[in-house]
Amino acid sequence: MKRIAVTGGAGQINYNLLFRIASGDLLGKDVPVALHILEVPPFIDVLKGVVMELNDCCFPLLQEIVIGTDPFEVFEDVNFALLVGAKPRSKGMERKDLILDNGKIFVEQGKALNAKAAKDVKVVVVGNPCNTNCLICMHNAPDISKDQFFAMTRLDENRAKAFLAQEAKVLTTDVKKMAIWGNHSKTQVPDFFHAEIQGKKAIEVLSEDWLKNTFVEKVQNRGGAIIEARGKSSAASAASAALDTVFSLVSTTPEDDWHSLCLYTKNNPYNIDNDLIFSFPCRTLEDGSIKIIEAVEWTPYLEEKIALSQKELLEEREMIAHLL
């Protein structure tokens, strides 16, 4: 059985995510799970309602549910920690505007994971701004190897794949190597130069003008477009991307593909500052280790845009330096 910690259990992402984990969409239909769900005191009763519904589903794989408001209790022995619980932005805000409110959450949660989680715990931060929150969490968990911390750009990758597939009139499964570089923010860099559609470079299939001037902005602004349309930020698609992230962490990546993942930059092959959580194209190897794909050639366009995303992450780090 695997123990899965999920934070923000009464929130909108979790009203989808918890049920999908319990039904076997995280680790497969043959892996029993225990859910360890954290909430803040004002929303614990709402979470109790969610737990009633989880029980009422009779999920065969769901063997135990632990809930609470103290991460030092809830994170006991967990093998995965999906850190979702944090304020979402609303219309007109950027994700980094959340940093001072949300950043501090990840100090205590990092300490609690350090003290209580299973040694093999893999931590995936979803709560925004997720790269910098992940950096805070990792620095507050000094006994957990830094290569066990990740933040999520898989939703951006999935959005990018969907846009490319729609434009090329193919299936999303025909799109591969759709890397996102940098920060999960408007400065993210969806790398259309290396994306492939049915085995061909996307730039050979679609117009470079559309890729550069329409596609990139659509991906960068998709989170905002959803807030504009729904009045709330993405939830079911975010939950789905979190499941995809964990799937890619625990399964060997096919030879002809990559997955986008934000991870610790120490000794990265692209000369990005050594103390950030940054999105790279990655591959999970047969032994379970995660490798950044090396020697992806940066065009001058990529170089300029990736530098801007790095600059934003350096500024975010400056703002929360006291939490590291």
- Count residues near ligand NAD (CB under 6 A): 28
Query: What angle in degrees, to the nearest 10, is found between the helix axes of 130-139 and 105-116?
Result: 50
Selecting among 36, 184, 194, 259, the annotated active-site residue is 184
Q: Is 132 in the site for ligand NAD (CB under 6 A)?
A: no
Closest approach of ligand NAD to the CB of residue 136, in Å? 12
The C-alpha atoms of residue 103 and residue 183 are separated, in whole angstroms, by: 16
**Nearest to ligand NAD of 8, 197 (CB atom):** 8
Asked whether the beta carbons of 7 and 85 are under 8 A apart, the reply is: yes
Q: Is 313 in the site for ligand NAD (CB under 6 A)?
A: no
Closest approach of ligand LMR to the CB of residue 126, in Å? 8
Single-letter amino acid code for the residue at 83 = L
Q: Is 184 a catalytic residue?
A: yes
CB burial of residue 15 (10 Å; 0-12, 13-18, 19+): middle
Asked whether the beta carbons of 140 and 257 are under 8 A apart, the reply is: no
Closest approach of ligand NAD to the CB of residue 168, in Å? 24
**Nearest to ligand LMR of 34, 84 (CB atom):** 84
Q: Is the peptide bond before 88 cis (omega within 30 degrees of 0)?
A: no
The C-alpha atoms of residue 156 and residue 174 are separated, in whole angstroms, by: 17
List contacts with ligand LMR (CB under 6 A): 88-89, 95, 128, 155, 223-224, 226-227, 233-234, 238
Q: Is 248 in the site for ligand NAD (CB under 6 A)?
A: no
Closest approach of ligand LMR to the CB of residue 99, in Å? 13
Asked whether the beta carbons of 179 and 280 are under 8 A apart, the reply is: yes
Closest approach of ligand LMR to the CB of residue 259, in Å? 17
Q: Is 43 in the site for ligand NAD (CB under 6 A)?
A: yes
**Residue 226 binds: one of ligand LMR, ligand NAD, none (C-beta under 5 to 8 A by kind):** ligand LMR
Q: Is 124 in the site for ligand NAD (CB under 6 A)?
A: no
**Nearest to ligand LMR of 32, 224 (CB atom):** 224
In 43-152, which ranges are continuous DSSP H helix?
44-56, 71-74, 99-103, 105-116, 130-139
Query: What angle in degrees, to the nearest 10, is found between the helix axes of 154-168 and 236-250?
Result: 100
What is the separation of C-alpha 322 from the centre of its chain, rounded to a whole number of angstroms? 24
**Nearest to ligand LMR of 158, 248 (CB atom):** 158
Q: Which stretch binds ligand NAD (CB under 6 A): 9-17, 162-170, 292-300, 314-322?
A: 9-17
Q: Identify the three-state secondary structure at position 9.
A: coil
| Residues engaged in binding ligand NAD (CB under 6 A) | 7-8, 10-13, 38-40, 43, 84-89, 105, 126-128, 130, 152, 155, 184, 233-235, 238
What are the residue numbers of the active site? 184
